Amino acid sequence: MAKIGSDIEQARNYLASGRVVAIPTETVYGLAANALNAEAVAQIFAIKQRPHFDPLIIHTDRMEKAFQWVEHIPETLKKLAEAFWPGPLTLVLPKKALIPDIVTAGLPTVGVRVPDHPLTRQLLASLDFPLAAPSANPFGYVSPTTAQHVNAQLGEQIPYILDGGSCRVGIESTIVGWHHEAQQPIILRLGGISLEDIEAVAGKVMLQTHSSSNPKAPGMLSAHYAPRKKVFLSLTEALQHHSPQDLGAIVFREPIPQIPMKHQLILSSKGSYLEAAHRLFAALRDIEQLPVQAVVTPLLPEEQLGRAINDRLRRAAASA
């Protein structure tokens, strides 16, 4: 299994030598490699068993460095960076030629972000290259929010996991690109910054968050984030296939009366979207340990971070 620790210098040495390590961010743990080293990036795809048509995000420690790797930044997207970096925002921008095509799946654009995690920002500040870092899990499975999650799934394939504790946000970054014909931002993936907060800075935005193949950004595939049990969004549908005693549930605030309480996980008894997002991926993992055959995950209200949580639940249901 991988060594787990908080030694930035050790992580830096592995990365500088072309190895892959896991790093914490405020969203989820990432599987990181030198984004300018195509061979190192290829290891990410091999370890995750990730299809090469699914592009990666590159990470660095501050906005000025992030913009070194892109050709052009529309003024509206720059305003978003100024408002939300460091933080759970990824911008998709025209890439410079030194970013290898394997990072961008051959696309002319690259996703860039500045994560809001002190340990990883210290690591990034010590590097003279950005890090390509998708979530540190097997492709299509639940994203990890602790070092232990990473070790359980990928620990035999990587040498080191930089342990930054439990991820504060708990779901991936919001990805925003630029729609050239409409001359306005377009959200490509819902995430840790709500649609309302994006529009408060950028004005009205477009929304395109799903793709069946050849996605423009990470996390756009319609089936993703799945535990290894069948997921139903509707109790009625689940009861067509299973008895209530065989069902588990992940609910926002209120338990489902028909399902045994011992089989239910509540994301936020106080109704907090932030708390629910923080707990979501851990709940999708924990539900696998319960003696149930399938899981019911009712959707949340379509507002604030509820939209991003619902996005993950719909994809988990499509995957199972």
pLDDT score of 236: 96
pLDDT score of 219: 66
214 pLDDT more than 60: no
- pLDDT tens for each residue of 120-148: 999 999 999 999 999 999 988 999 999 99
312 is in an annotated binding site: no
pLDDT score of 224: 64
294 is in an annotated binding site: no
Dist. CA 30–CA 161, nearest whole Å: 10
CATH number given to 230-319: 3.40.50.11030
17 is in an annotated binding site: no
- pLDDT tens for each residue of 3-39: 999 999 999 999 999 999 999 999 999 999 999 999 9
225 is in an annotated binding site: yes
Q: What is the CA radius of gyration of the chain?
A: 19
Pinpoint the residues of the chain covered by CATH 3.90.870.10: 3-207
Pinpoint the residues of the chain covered by CATH 3.40.50.11030: 230-319
pTM of the model: 0.91
- CATH of the structural domain 3-207, one choice from 2.60.40.420, 3.90.870.10, 3.30.590.10, 3.40.50.300: 3.90.870.10
pLDDT score of 10: 98
Closest CA to 314 of 239, 219, 242: 219
Which residues, at least 6 apart from 209, have a Cβ–Cβ distance to it below 8 Å?
Answer: 187, 188, 189, 190, 220, 311
254 pLDDT more than 80: yes
- Mean pLDDT, the chain, whole residue set: 94
Strand spans (E) along the chain: 3-5, 21-23, 30-34, 57-59, 89-94, 109-113, 131-132, 160-162, 174-179, 184-189, 206-207, 230-232, 247-251, 264-266, 294-296
173 is in an annotated binding site: yes
149 is in an annotated binding site: no
Q: Report which of residues 119 and 212 the model is more confident about.
A: 119
189 is in an annotated binding site: yes
143 is in an annotated binding site: yes
- pLDDT tens for each residue of 154-187: 999 999 999 999 999 999 999 999 998 889 999 9
Taking residues 293-305, report their average pLDDT: 96
Question: Long-range CB contacts (< 8 A, 24+ apart) of 316-319?
Answer: 316/142, 316/224, 316/225, 316/226, 316/227, 316/231, 316/284, 317/231, 317/232, 317/233, 318/222, 318/223, 318/224, 318/226, 319/140, 319/223, 319/224, 319/225, 319/226, 319/231
User: Which residue do the tokens 């090469």 mark?
Assistant: 52
